[in-house]
């Protein structure tokens, strides 16, 4: 059986980093971890081929070779998924669809022959059994949450690792919190389920054997959901794993209460973590109460962010405008918070209602839903009727994004961050990839870019004040180029 594993293209989004990746000649930020894990669950006698259209085109000979096509994706990949499925259908292929997009919207896709939804550890074995017998149902779904102790390591050898900027592993699924707008708990539950330490180390060993020496993203929606296991087992094992190797940088996602645990932050940094994404959402207490973001309430979150930065972790932040309790003052409040906190990579999006969330159900009851969510956090759209006049919300958001990523405020924010950041070691290394990015940045940003005076000002300031952080300053400058290009493409 020849099986084609097909991953749709991401649009030009905040997290695609498409414009930044050109500086280091990479095609995508991350490989399709879910598809590669599913590949490891398929019968070993099946022949498997991955086509991630983010890094290469789907060729006619790929379709001619395939007998069955497994396609997976996220909501933001919806349009590309439709195009790829249409090509597979026209070629007469058997199509099996799964992953977040189809788990949430499979009714919108009439073309696939089969849907294997929710977590594959539960639904894929039943499908494979029935498929082998020739009596498979069209939809396989489950409301249960599997034990992931037996989840196999991804088949990394199917991916062309050279095309990606980072690799990814998953340690846990689920989150102990219950934010109204988030579908993580609906999909994965409130009790964080973890892999064993041996599983995680085996996955890292597999990447290392294949020659990977770059960054690794722990994709957990809340890495610190099980602090005890982290402190007692995983982080000590990662610290030991790093010994004798060139330090592999890790990054992940966590809730703001990470700032309360200096010992845990110290262990994370010692294990190799240098970045963490935190869902801050809003500085407005009323909006935090509205969306049940209880872990963020009653805090000095700017102080929390700076505490995490001083521990050696760069904070990337998620922010939202468009809550029912938001007034037009929210746009300036978000600007003030982001600038003062020194969160350079600040993803600010209009609130969207994702299927499966409590927000979606509430707005549906209120008759306020207007369309499907795009899955793109920064495209300036929302799929429901907001309390704030839509034109006010749109213009306020446009002004907010325009300010945050204009060269002046953006480069000032980098300096604010660099003043606080205390990495465990020099940030970045003088390898060939960095030198190539540095040369490209000097030309693209330092000569032709409208930010050229800000760029050189930052580099000279960093060279004199924090010389070990010059590589990081260059990297953040390149990120700013991507963010400005993305906003410009969306006419924001």
Do 380 and 457 lie in one domain? The reply is no
Residue 413 lies in a domain: no
Residues 251, 180, 348, 192, Cα dihedral to 10°: 0
Q: Which of 387, 404, 421 is the last residue of a domain?
A: 404
Q: Determine the pLDDT at residue 427.
A: 45
The answer to whether residues 179 and 279 touch, using CB atoms and an 8 Å cutoff, is yes
Residue 101 lies in a domain: yes
Q: Which two tokens stand for residue 220?
A: 């957990």
Q: Which helix (H) or strand (E) holds 34?
A: helix 33-41
Q: Determine the pLDDT at residue 491.
A: 60
Which are the contacts of 235, defined by CB distance < 8 A and separation ≥ 6?
264, 267, 268, 270, 271
Residue 325 lies in a domain: yes
Which are the contacts of 248, defined by CB distance < 8 A and separation ≥ 6?
204, 208, 213, 214, 215, 216, 242, 272
Do 113 and 245 lie in one domain? The reply is no
Do 122 and 176 lie in one domain? The reply is no
Computed over every residue of the chain, the mean pLDDT equals 95
Residues in the chain: 492
Residue 266's CB is within 10 A of a number of other CB atoms, namely: 14
**CA 490 to CA 338: how far, in whole Å?**
22
Do 253 and 356 lie in one domain? The reply is yes
Do 273 and 337 lie in one domain? The reply is yes
Could you tell me the pTM of the whole model?
0.96
Do 210 and 354 lie in one domain? The reply is yes
Residue 11 lies in a domain: yes
Residue 346 lies in a domain: yes
Tens of pLDDT, residues 407-448: 999 999 999 999 999 998 654 456 777 788 999 999 999 999
Residue 424 lies in a domain: no
Q: Determine the pLDDT at residue 378.
A: 83
Q: Determine the pLDDT at residue 38.
A: 98
- Please count the CA atoms within 13 angstroms of the CA of 219 that sit on its side-chain side: 13
Do 368 and 236 lie in one domain? The reply is yes
Q: Which helix (H) or strand (E) holds 25?
A: none
Do 289 and 227 lie in one domain? The reply is yes
Query: pLDDT truncated to tens, each residue of the chain (492 aa)?
Result: 999 999 999 999 999 999 999 999 999 999 999 999 999 999 999 999 999 999 999 999 999 999 999 999 999 999 999 999 999 999 999 999 999 999 999 999 999 999 999 999 999 999 999 999 999 999 999 999 999 999 999 999 999 999 999 999 999 999 999 999 999 988 999 899 999 999 999 999 999 999 999 999 999 999 999 999 999 999 999 999 999 888 899 999 999 999 999 999 999 999 999 999 999 999 999 999 999 999 999 999 999 999 999 999 999 999 999 999 999 999 999 999 999 999 999 999 999 999 999 999 999 999 999 999 999 878 889 999 999 999 999 999 999 999 999 999 999 999 999 999 999 865 445 677 778 899 999 999 999 999 999 999 999 999 999 999 999 999 999 999 999 998 886 665
Angle (deg, nearest 10), helices 452-465 and 407-420: 10
Q: What is the CATH number of the domain that holds 322?
A: 3.20.20.70
**CA 479 to CA 163: how far, in whole Å?**
18
Q: Which domain holds residue 473?
A: 432-489
The count of domains in the chain is: 3
Q: Which helix (H) or strand (E) holds 375?
A: none
Do 383 and 480 lie in one domain? The reply is no
Residue 466 lies in a domain: yes
**CA 461 to CA 457: how far, in whole Å?**
6
Do 391 and 247 lie in one domain? The reply is yes
Q: Determine the pLDDT at residue 383.
A: 96
Do 468 and 382 lie in one domain? The reply is no
Residue 145 lies in a domain: no
Q: What is the CATH number of the domain that holds 89?
A: 3.40.50.280
Q: Determine the pLDDT at residue 428.
A: 46
Do 91 and 215 lie in one domain? The reply is no
Q: Which of 125, 140, 155 is the last residue of a domain?
A: 140
């Amino acid at each position: 059986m020849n099986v084609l594993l097909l991953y749709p293209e991401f649009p030009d989004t905040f997290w695609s980093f498409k414009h930044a990746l050109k500086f280091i000649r990479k095609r995508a930020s991350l490989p399709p971890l879910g598809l590669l894990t599913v590949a490891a669950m398929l019968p070993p006698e099946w022949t498997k081929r991955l086509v991630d259209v983010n890094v290469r085109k789907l060729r006619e000979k790929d379709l001619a070779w395939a007998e069955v096509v497994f396609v997976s994706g996220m909501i933001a990949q919806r349009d590309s998924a439709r195009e790829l499925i249409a090509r597979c259908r026209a070629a007469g292929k058997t199509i099996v669809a799964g992953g977040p997009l189809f788990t949430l919207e499979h009714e919108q896709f009439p073309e696939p022959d089969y849907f294997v939804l929710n977590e594959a550890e539960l639904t894929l074995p039943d499908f494979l059994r029935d498929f082998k017998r020739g009596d498979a149902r069209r939809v396989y779904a489950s409301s249960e949450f599997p034990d992931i102790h037996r989840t196999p390591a991804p088949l990394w050898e199917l991916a062309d690792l050279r095309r990606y900027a980072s690799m990814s592993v998953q340690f846990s699924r689920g989150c102990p919190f219950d934010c109204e707008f988030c579908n993580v708990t609906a999909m994965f539950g409130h009790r964080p389920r973890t892999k064993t330490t041996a599983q995680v180390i085996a996955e890292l060993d597999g990447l290392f054997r294949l020659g990977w020496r770059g960054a690794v993203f722990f994709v957990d929606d809340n890495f610190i959901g099980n602090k005890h296991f982290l402190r007692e087992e995983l982080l000590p094992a990662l610290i030991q794993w790093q010994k004798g190797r060139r330090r592999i940088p890790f990054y992940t996602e966590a809730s703001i209460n990470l700032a309360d645990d200096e010992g845990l932050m110290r262990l994370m940094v010692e294990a190799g973590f240098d970045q963490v994404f935190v869902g801050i959402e809003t500085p407005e207490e009323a909006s935090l109460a509205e969306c049940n973001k209880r872990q963020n309430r009653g805090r000095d979150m700017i102080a929390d962010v700076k505490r995490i930065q001083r521990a050696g972790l760069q904070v990337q932040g998620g922010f939202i405008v468009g809550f029912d309790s938001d007034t037009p003052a929210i746009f300036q409040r978000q600007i003030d918070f982001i600038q003062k906190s020194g969160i350079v990579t600040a993803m600010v999006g209009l609130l969207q209602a994702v299927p499966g969330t409590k927000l979606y159900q509430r707005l549906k009851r209120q008759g306020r839903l207007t369309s499907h969510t795009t899955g793109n956090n920064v495209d300036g759209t929302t799929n429901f009727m907001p309390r704030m006049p839509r034109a006010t919300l749109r213009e306020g958001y446009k002004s907010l994004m325009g300010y945050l990523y204009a060269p002046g405020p953006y480069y000032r924010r980098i300096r604010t961050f660099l003043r606080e950041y205390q990495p465990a070691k020099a940030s970045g290394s003088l390898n060939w990839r960095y030198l190539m990015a540095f040369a490209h940045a000097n030309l693209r940003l330092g000569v032709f870019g409208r930010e050229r005076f800000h760029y050189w000002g930052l580099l000279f300031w960093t060279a004199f004040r924090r010389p070990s952080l010059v590589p990081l300053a260059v990297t953040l400058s390149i990120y700013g180029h991507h963010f400005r290009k993305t906003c410009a493409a969306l006419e924001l």
